[in-house]
Amino acid sequence: GKSENSNISFSCSFLEIYQEQLNDLLETEKKEKISIRDLSESVKIEGLKKYAVSSSEDALTLVLQGIMN
């Protein structure tokens, strides 16, 4: 069979919606306003930080950090 090289990357974000307020739980300084845009075939969240992860442990670390915020 034919061998293909693939490049896959993963990133995580952690969004809280509380009393109509949008909060990035991984951003401690809360500088940027977060907004949600409804596009025709998807939803785009602007202002939410993305963090690259390379393992499930990296993702779990971010989840735990978000829970603490």
Angle at 35 between CA 33 and CA 36, to 5 degrees: 165
Q: What is the CB-side half-sphere exposure of residue 40 using CA atoms within 13 A?
A: 0
Q: What is the pLDDT of residue 51?
A: 94
pLDDT digits (tens, 9 = 90+) for 2-54: 567 788 899 999 999 999 899 999 987 877 789 999 988 999 999 999 999 99
Q: What is the pLDDT of residue 2?
A: 59
Task: Tell me: pLDDT of 67 over 90.
Answer: yes
3-state DSSP call for residue 4? coil
Task: Give the gyration radius of the chain's Cα atoms.
Answer: 15
Q: pTM to 2 decimals?
A: 0.73
Angle at 16 between CA 49 and CA 51, to 5 degrees: 25
